[in-house]
Amino acid sequence: MKIASEYVNRLVRQEIRDLTAYHVADPGEMIKLDAMENPYQLPAEVTQECANRLKQASLNRYPDPNAIKLKQRIMDAMSIPSDLGLILGNGSDELILMLMMALAGSGRPVLSISPSFVMYKISAISIGMPYVDVPLQSDFSLDMQATLAAIDEHNPALIFLAHPNNPTGNRFSQKDIEKIIEYSDGLVVVDEAYQPFSDYSFTQDISKYPNAVLISTVSKMGLAGLRLGMLIGKPEWVDELEKVRLPYNINILTQVIAEYALEHKHLFDKQTQAIIADREELFQQLQQIKGIEPFPSQANFILIKLASADANQVFQQLKEQGILIKNLHPSGGLLTNCLRVTVGSQSENSSFISALKEIVEKG
Ligand SMILES: *Cc1c(COP(=O)(O)O)cnc(C)c1O
């Protein structure tokens, strides 16, 4: 009798078998500060109207394959220049994969920085594209000399720059980003997942470059459950990417709700402003804990480094007290002894602070 693993070992590529699946912890009843979610629900009037609109959705029909109304709403809400094209994804994760599907095959790699968003690497390997990364400097700024040297050496087809970066939370110098775009012979993707929490957007600059596109998402601003990401770029890029997009990738429930929610973008903007203010307060409170170094953030999370306490242990003890954050220590390198906490509601933040203080100062 043959067993499944014999087939698997023969048929699944070695590099896939070597991957670890993107790990998402089960939060149970814990205070959830691990995944950069917005802690706030929408006001009841808004959710009520969402429910009304969903009632009218024709679930027996395929959704609008081009999501025309939703795209128009996004163009307005994000002030996207009208000479640029827009393509939607089932989360920006899907757009990352689509970019790779379109550009794979030449043997040229995907290049990113480290530490950064892990899906760049996982998706590159899944697609069969080589992946290289260039370590950031110890203050998490771009190492321009190493980055340009890596571009010379590897001639990447695709370069991903998360900006602000995850999990470090910082922005890069705009001049450096522009230099990378100008220096590269490949396509540079600026990933603005955390743009709502930052004081800068690349949106108005994309038109200047023949080889840059921007990806963004509604996830971090408060609609993670919808799974909706967008790519903005010159029509020449968007037209090609359309060819690898699965038909109907944005389901009707997402289309209906996102369209309505973005009519009320001011409500999300208000929440975003509150999260930014709470981030600054959380940062100051973290600074006051002995043995904790928080790094300034332009996102809705803060990276912290522990001076002497063991990050694995602190993570575990927080978990035992019902608080789930992200342990980055296993990634090693610049993330050794680092933890990442999402900015939650004020009461979640203060539960986190008192638990952390207790653990680290007693520890
Ligand atoms: C969260 C995140 C994404 C993925 O966003 P989705 O739209 O939810 O798929 C993309 N890039 C970065 C840097 C992220 O942190």
pLDDT in tens, 34-67: 999 999 988 888 889 999 999 999 999 999 999 9
Q: What span, in angstroms and rounded, lies between the C-alpha atoms of 352 and 296?
A: 18
Token reading at 333: 């390198």
Position 239 scores a pLDDT of 97
Q: What is the mean pLDDT of the chain?
A: 95
Position 345 scores a pLDDT of 97
User: Which of 88, 95, 217 has most ligand 1 atoms within 8 Å of CB, for mutation?
Assistant: 217
Position 57 scores a pLDDT of 94
C-alpha 125 – ligand 1 centre gap (Å): 18
Q: CA dist 102 to 99, 124, 217, 245, 250, Å? A: 5, 12, 20, 10, 19
Q: What span, in angstroms and rounded, lies between the C-alpha atoms of 51 and 112?
A: 41
In this structure, how many other beta carbons lie within 10 angstroms of the beta carbon of residue 104?
Answer: 18
Confidence band for 248, pLDDT divided at 50, 70 and 90: very high
Position 1 scores a pLDDT of 80
Q: pLDDT over 90 for what percent of the chain?
A: 91
- Which atom number of ligand 1 is nearest to the Cα of residue 224? 8
Position 262 scores a pLDDT of 93
Q: pLDDT over 70 for what percent of the chain?
A: 100
Q: What span, in angstroms and rounded, lies between the C-alpha atoms of 104 and 218?
A: 27
Confidence band for 27, pLDDT divided at 50, 70 and 90: confident
Token reading at 144: 């321009």
Residue that has been written with the tokens 């080589």 in this structure: 130
DSSP code string of 216-235: EESIIIIIGGG--EEEEE-H
Say if residue 350's pLDDT is above 90.
yes
pLDDT tens sequence across 84-100: 999 999 999 999 999 99
C-beta separation of 344 from 31 below 8 A: yes
Confidence band for 220, pLDDT divided at 50, 70 and 90: very high
Position 309 scores a pLDDT of 87
Is the pTM for the entire model greater than 0.85?
yes
Position 122 scores a pLDDT of 95
Q: What span, in angstroms and rounded, lies between the C-alpha atoms of 315 and 278?
A: 22
Q: Average pLDDT of 231-247?
A: 97
| pLDDT, greater one: 138 or 2 | 138
- Which atom number of ligand 1 is nearest to the Cα of residue 94? 9
C-beta separation of 326 from 167 below 8 A: yes
Say if residue 25's pLDDT is above 80.
no
Q: What is the largest CA-CA distance in the chain?
A: 63
C-alpha 286 – ligand 1 centre gap (Å): 25
Say if residue 280's pLDDT is above 90.
yes
Mention every residue, 6+ apart, whose C-beta is less than 8 A from residue 126: 16, 19, 97
C-alpha 220 – ligand 1 centre gap (Å): 8
Q: What span, in angstroms and rounded, lies between the C-alpha atoms of 236 and 257?
A: 29
Total count of residues recorded for the chain: 363
Say if residue 23's pLDDT is above 80.
no
- Which atom number of ligand 1 is nearest to the Cα of residue 116? 13
Confidence band for 179, pLDDT divided at 50, 70 and 90: very high
Whether 216 is in the pocket of ligand 1, judged by its Cβ within 6 Å, is: no
Position 106 scores a pLDDT of 93
DSSP code string of 135-199: EPPTTS---HHHHHHHHHHH--SEEEEESS-TTT-----HHHHHHHHHH-SSEEEEE-TTGGGSS
pLDDT tens sequence across 142-178: 999 999 999 999 999 999 999 999 999 999 999 999 9
Angle at the Cα of 300 (from 295 to 303), degrees rounded to 5? 25
Position 363 scores a pLDDT of 66
Of the candidates 214, 210, 176, 168, the one whose C-alpha atom is nearest the C-alpha of residue 193 is 214
Mention every residue, 6+ apart, whose C-beta is less than 8 A from residue 310: 337
Say if residue 19's pLDDT is above 90.
no
C-beta separation of 156 from 191 below 8 A: no
Q: What span, in angstroms and rounded, lies between the C-alpha atoms of 1 and 209?
A: 59
| pLDDT, greater one: 42 or 195 | 195
DSSP code string of 34-94: SS----PPPPHHHHHHHHHHHHHS-TTSPP-TT-HHHHHHHHHHTT--TTSEEEEESSHHH
Q: Average pLDDT of 218-232?
A: 96
Burial class (CB in 10 A: 0-12, 13-18, 19+), 176: middle
- Which atom number of ligand 1 is nearest to the Cα of residue 117? 13
**N-to-C CA span, the chain:** 54
User: Which of 87, 92, 140 has most ligand 1 atoms within 8 Å of CB, for mutation?
Assistant: 92
User: Residue 337 — left, alpha, or beta (φ > 0 → left; ψ -120 to 50 → alpha)?
Assistant: left
Q: Average pLDDT of 313-342?
A: 96
Position 333 scores a pLDDT of 94
